[in-house]
Structure formats: C-alpha cells, structure tokens
Amino acid sequence: MNKDINNIVDKEYNFNFKFSSEDLIWSEDDDLLNDKLLSTSSLIEEIHKAAFEILSDYLGNDETSVVSNIKLTHLSLTPYDTNVYLKIIPEKIINNNIYFKGEAFDEINKIAEFNLIRTVVSKKYLKKQKEEKIKTINKI
C-alpha cells in the first residue's frame, strides 16, 4: 500500500450510476419482477466497485483489495431508470484493512446505509490460496 493512502481517511467520495440495466433488477419474487426494482445485491456490488475505485490509485501492481465485511440496511425501493448516488467515506485504516461508511440515495430519498471493510492483499497470495483450495477439492 502506498503510504499516502492515509490521505483518503475522512474524505467524502461521490459516485453515481443509472439503474437502467436488466441485470440489476430484483428477481427473487416472480410476482414483482415486472415492477423492475433495484436489487439489494446489485446495490452492494455497485458499492463494492466504488470502494475499490477509491483504493485503486494507492495499491501496488502486485496488490488488490477484497471485501472482507459488509453491513447494509436497505431503506427504500428504487424503480427502474432512476439515478442512484453513493456517498462513501473511508473512516480509518488498521493494518491492511480499510473501513468505509456510506449512504446511497435515489432521486427522491436515502435508499441505504452501509459499512464495509476492504482488505489489501497480495495478488500472489490470492492465486496461491486458490490453487491450494483447488488441490484440496480435487482430493475429495
């Protein structure tokens, strides 16, 4: 990690996306599928991408960041073809863990509150762990 990464702490980052992709639709209840509501899992994925982007300039070529924890409270529905805005604030950095808090809004109101932790890890470490897991699975 770049030593300047501490400059992100307590700084507010803003992101937005348009909920206009069929891939983001809540699809668990067939009766409501045609209502085209933003799924919680899609919102979480957009939050993860934004937090990753915040960190990307501070990581070495041999590093990446992974989500190690997320807590999200989904407060309000979001209809299709709506703009969604994310406010993300890195709160603190402890060792290789970066703690974030944030809120998501649509064009009308707050739709979610969240906290997440991204952990900076070596890309080599991830690949090694994957290979070891595959070997173990193949032995079963």
- Residue-by-residue DSSP string for 28-47: S-GGGGGG-BBPHHHHHHHH
Q: Which amino acid is at 139?
A: K
Class of domain 3-139: alpha beta
pLDDT of residue 82: 95
Helix (H, G, I), strand (E, B) or coil at 131: helix
The reported pLDDT for the residue numbered 113 is 98
pLDDT computed for residue 72 by the predictor: 98
**Residue 81: left (phi > 0), alpha (psi -120 to 50), or beta?**
left
Report the pLDDT value the prediction gives residue 20, as an integer from 0 to 100: 80
Cβ atoms 40, 26 nearer than 8 A: yes
pLDDT in tens, the chain (140 residues): 777 898 999 999 999 999 987 787 888 877 777 788 999 999 999 999 999 999 998 999 999 999 999 999 999 999 999 999 999 999 999 999 999 999 999 999 999 999 999 999 999 999 999 999 999 999 87
